Copies of this chain bind each other. A is one copy, B any other.
Amino acid sequence: MPERLYLEDLHVGQSWVSEPHAIDAAQIKAFAADYDPQPFHLDEEVAEKSLFKGLAASGWHTAAVTMKLLVGSDFKPAAGIIGVGFDELRWPKPVRPGDELHVEGEILETRASRSNPRQGLIKVKTSTINQHGEAVQISVGNLVVPRRQT
């Protein structure tokens, strides 16, 4: 894909794959301590007895790592990756220490903005996948992208 993407460069079905990111227990606990300090994200023994049956990352940690991988990927809208909201966000499987995650992105829709002639809106599906090929996060988000000025 080009280095700086405008609405005119984007089309339905365009897809990309990020680099991988390895998750460990220290990362899971550090994120949880700051943003989701529930015992099953902080302590292996408590986690064993929880619904997760073992230490698991906060879903918001998975979402944050997904964003990091997306920002580092070949998907480079000219004004940055700017989301206005999501049609879907779910965590079908927990993220565990030792998991290696990557993100697969795909454009589902593109259209010009009705209110701003300089902007477009695109709908992007991102799947965050672990080393077993299982999706740990699925999202469908709406992003603002600039239009090429003529």
Q: What separation, in Å, do the CA atoms of A40 and B38 have in the docked complex?
A: 31
Binding site of A, secondary structure by majority: helix, strand, loop or mixed? mixed
Q: How far is the CA of A144 from the CA of B35 in the complex (A)?
A: 20
Chain multiplicity (copies)? 2
Interface stretch (choices A86-94, A96-104, A107-115, A122-130): A86-94
Please determine whether A37 and B90 come into contact, CB atoms closer than 8 angstroms: no
Contact B84 A86 (CB under 8 A): no
List 6 A-B pairs, Cβ < 8 Å.
A36-B64, A40-B80, A51-B80, A59-B83, A60-B63, A84-B90
A-to-B contact residues, CB < 8 Å? 31, 34-40, 50-52, 58-60, 63-65, 67-68, 71, 79-86, 88-91, 144
